[in-house]
Structure 1
Amino acid sequence: MKFAAVDIGGTFIKYALLDEQMQILDQKQVVTMALMDAEAFYDYLCEEMLIDGADLIGICAPGIFDDQGIMVTASSGNASIMYQTDVVQEVKNRTGLTTYVINDARAAGLCEWKMGNCRGFDRSACYLIGTGIGGCLMDEHGLIRGSHHFSGEFSYMPVWGRDGKVEQLGNHASMSSLIRAYHALHPYETIDGETICERYLKHEPDAVTCVSHWLQAITMQLITITAVYDPGVICIGGGISRADWFLKELAARYQAGCASFISPMLSFHTEIRSCAFYNEANLIGAAIHARREFYHM
């Protein structure tokens, strides 16, 4: 059996053809075009799909999908045109192939659970840092979806903001939030998260202030995940997770936070790891999801 996998992002769409062992046989990437309507978008999506020889299609994208495959929350960028459409049916109508859809963060988590650094744990979590915050929880059977497919939406954890209003903690923990905070101090400078982190490591005062707040927000989310679910491992994804200094500092802050905030008498052995898979995790996870759903029908 072979799988056509699609990772729909707000800026790019990635395609792959995978075999039964989840090895990528072919892949490509195209721009997520801004099109007039959903019909045109799905035509474009399916025209580019690597379906020759495929038996099933697995799709992942930002957003939450109901049991039918309808996107019930807004997505990101040009992919938002899929909002309130039946992704599964639209793709099946154009390709003739049985199609399954999953949230992109859950796809990445499923890949880590099956083949990566969550493998072998009966309780695990993936925490993905990007433009926003994504994630998922897993047990020995795979993904925990929740009663409303909302499990793992870590971005929505509430926190008191500086003005006394309740805010989403994810809006303090994402990479885009770090960039916004630094930009507020340097409004005439165009800068990315990697450069801000480099300045942090050189002890530039504004970078230290912004990165410290950002790391604290991430740590708060990890401690909350621990308090609610107590996983054996939390795998961190996103480009920043490749940086050794980041993972070491985050793990140290997490351990210290658990000791001070929960109890110094409790010994927390939850590991903080980077995800084993990076750019291809979503594609592999989408294919794994399609295979699991097909065989569980």
Structure 2
Amino acid sequence: MEKYNLGIDIGGTFIKYALVDKKYNIKEKWKVKSVKFDTKDELYDYICSNIKDINLVDVIGVSAPGLIDQDSYVKSYAAENIVIMYGTNINHEIMKRVNRKVISINDAKSAGLCEFKIGNARGSKSSAFLILGTGTGGCLCNQNGVIYGKDAFAGEFHNIPFMNYKTKKIDKMGDYSSMTALIKIYNDKVDKNAEVEYGYEVCAKYLNNDEVAKNAIEEWINNIVTQLIAITVTYNPEIICIGGGISEEDWFINKLKKQYKENCIKYLELDFITTKIDRCKYNNDSNILGAIINANIK
């Protein structure tokens, strides 16, 4: 009987599962809604109760948000529905329920590892990954794979600091370049009754030549470019891959590439920067595939 790897992507909205063969082909996918529980045992029981065909599985790779160290301890709070995971050891909790090898990794690092091994950063000696979602996730890789840093904090690009001279406080770049930021940028420019709930609404208005949306998108992409330049100055990788649903839009990725190149010349006064900007190849599946890749190399 053929054995499969199981990937589990724990998110604040959904928990996604996939049975994957040894060549990283996805055979079956399913998902359940994330539910907020009062105890960690209720959450892990729920996660494991939705696993299918455990008799076909020999290795489980898990991706989850928040700071997860190399021993699989959750060291920071994440999305509200799964905040109870804080302080737990993901590997131990799932392993004792299903009796399989379990290896866990942060979701953005998982996506980066996927792209490094089988995606658009394959073959690179230095790469970075910026995942645009509710926040901005990140990952750095060298020729050997994911760079964790001493506290597993390397690549946490959302937290790149800058001084906000209006408030006299240190802000985080991710708060200005996430999809959440795009919504706020747009809503700050319109009346209350014209506010939107989702980022794709702003994008649709932009594509329909709405002037407010065009101004909001311009400001937002400049914020992303600033974050990309900060990554470039710090690491100057061969490639920075952009993930998240928005990265599948050609207009977005082309505009981002153009403004990145222009700003490297305009603000850094450097015309020799060759860091490539591209999208992630395995966008929606990168977390699960990266988690499985990580489990197989540990």
Alpha-carbon deviation of 1:160?
2.6
Unaligned runs of 5+ in 2: none
Runs (4+) of structure 1 moved beyond 4 Å? none
Aligned to 1:278: 283
Aligned to 1:48: 50
Alpha-carbon deviation of 1:35?
1.9
Aligned to 2:5: 3
Question: Normalising by structure 2, what TM-score?
Answer: 0.94
Instruction: Classify 1:203/1:176 alpha carbon distance in 2 versus 1 (closer, same or farther; 3 Å).
Output: same
Alpha-carbon deviation of 1:196?
0.9
Q: Do the aligned partners of 2:185 and 2:220 also contact (CA within 8 Å) in 1?
A: no
Aligned to 1:269: 274
| Residue number among 66, 71, 74 corresponding to 1:68 in the alignment | 71
| Alignment deviations for residues 211-257 of structure 1 (CA, whole Å, 9 cap, x no partner) | 22211110011111111111111111111111111111111111111
The correspondence of residues 82-101 of structure 1 with structure 2, limited to 5 A, is 82-101=85-104
| Aligned equivalents of 1:159, 1:204: Cα separation in 2 | 31
Aligned to 1:157: 160
| Residue number among 251, 256, 274 corresponding to 2:257 in the alignment | 251
Quote the RMSD (CA, aligned, Å).
Answer: 1.4
Aligned to 1:35: 37
Aligned to 1:131: 134
My pick for the range that moved more, 206-215 or 95-104, is 206-215
1:167 to 2:171 alignment? yes
What secondary structure does 2:61 align onto?
strand
Question: Normalising by structure 1, what TM-score?
Answer: 0.94
Matched residues, number: 292
Q: Do the aligned partners of 2:196 and 2:202 also contact (CA within 8 Å) in 1?
A: no
Opposite residue 70 of structure 1, the aligned amino acid is Y
| Aligned equivalents of 2:80, 2:245: Cα separation in 1 | 19
Aligned to 1:119: 122
Unaligned runs of 5+ in 1: none
| Residue number among 266, 285, 293 corresponding to 1:288 in the alignment | 293
Q: Do the aligned partners of 1:200 and 1:208 also contact (CA within 8 Å) in 2?
A: yes
Aligned to 1:18: 20
Q: Do the aligned partners of 2:245 and 2:284 also contact (CA within 8 Å) in 1?
A: no
Q: Do the aligned partners of 2:183 and 2:196 also contact (CA within 8 Å) in 1?
A: no
Opposite residue 132 of structure 1, the aligned amino acid is G
My pick for the range that moved more, 175-184 or 221-230, is 175-184
| Aligned equivalents of 2:288, 2:192: Cα separation in 1 | 37
| Aligned equivalents of 1:97, 1:107: Cα separation in 2 | 20
Q: Do the aligned partners of 1:11 and 1:77 also contact (CA within 8 Å) in 2?
A: no
What secondary structure does 1:190 align onto?
coil
My pick for the range that moved more, 233-242 or 153-162, is 153-162
| Aligned equivalents of 2:88, 2:197: Cα separation in 1 | 36
| Aligned equivalents of 1:108, 1:126: Cα separation in 2 | 8
1:194 to 2:200 alignment? yes
What secondary structure does 1:55 align onto?
strand
What secondary structure does 1:43 align onto?
helix
| Aligned equivalents of 2:259, 2:28: Cα separation in 1 | 41
